[in-house]
Amino acid sequence: FPEMPSNPKLVLVQGMLNVVMKQNVTLSCLSEPGSPPVRYTLFKHNQQVSALNRSDLTPALFTLTISSASDMGEYKCKAEYNNSSGGKYSNSLNITLIEPISKPVLSSPTSQAKKGQNVTLSCFSENGSLPITYLFFKGTQKISSQKTMQKREAAVIFLFIDSLHDFGTYKCKANNSFPNNTKYSNAFNFTLAEERSHSQPLIISLGLILLLLIIGFALAIPFFVIPLYKASE
């Protein structure tokens, strides 16, 4: 009696499971041991995609062209003898779409800083397949290690403003698994916050006192100075 097919193995032999539009993907389905002829059927979410017959122990190769979002999802294959009612199913492979990232935005809660202050910078790309990797720069120099975000959230770094050198131009870049899709952010600069001198409040207070004395003297002229002047005549 012919030996029944074992559960077939579905493997990727060409392309990637994370795909871009118009990309070809080839899947191989093979059941062994088993006695040919065997019929292999490829399914996506329990819907038949294609079927091939094999009269020897060579795998069935299914080439897919990813042309729309409907081509994404879970694939399985089934091995059975021709004209038989039974069959065995393979493992599943999930094909997902890779989307390019959008230009990241570099921002900070404050645009002004002073020496000795801690500040933060955040870099965020709104669109694109996860995970997304971010890297921060000051000029052309890297100022952080790569930060890979598995969720749709910004990468954040903390900076200490130690000198005027830290007020340069900052940027970040982002990329994901989409090929040739590294993008750079806008430029961001911290401006030096004006520090008020400790002598300013004292100067303002003295000025107000002097102004009050002048006003008081002006108000006293009609009541004291003018009568004294008339009395001396």
User: β-strand 18-19 against 93-97: which pairing, if any?
Assistant: parallel
pTM (global) more than 0.75: no
Give Dmax (Cα) for the chain: 148
**Domain boundaries 9-97, corresponding CATH code:** 2.60.40.10
Three-state SS at 172: strand
Delimit the domains of the chain by residue range.
9-97, 105-192
- Domains 9-97 and 105-192 in one fold: yes
**Rounded to 5°, angle at Cα 118 from 113 and 123:** 85
**Domain boundaries 105-192, corresponding CATH code:** 2.60.40.10
pLDDT in tens, the chain (233 residues): 455 678 899 999 999 898 988 899 999 999 876 667 789 999 998 899 999 998 888 899 999 999 888 899 999 999 988 666 678 999 999 999 899 999 999 999 998 888 889 999 999 999 999 999 999 999 999 999 999 999 999 999 999 988 888 888 999 999 998 888 999 999 999 988 875 545 556 677 787 888 888 887 777 777 665 665 556 66
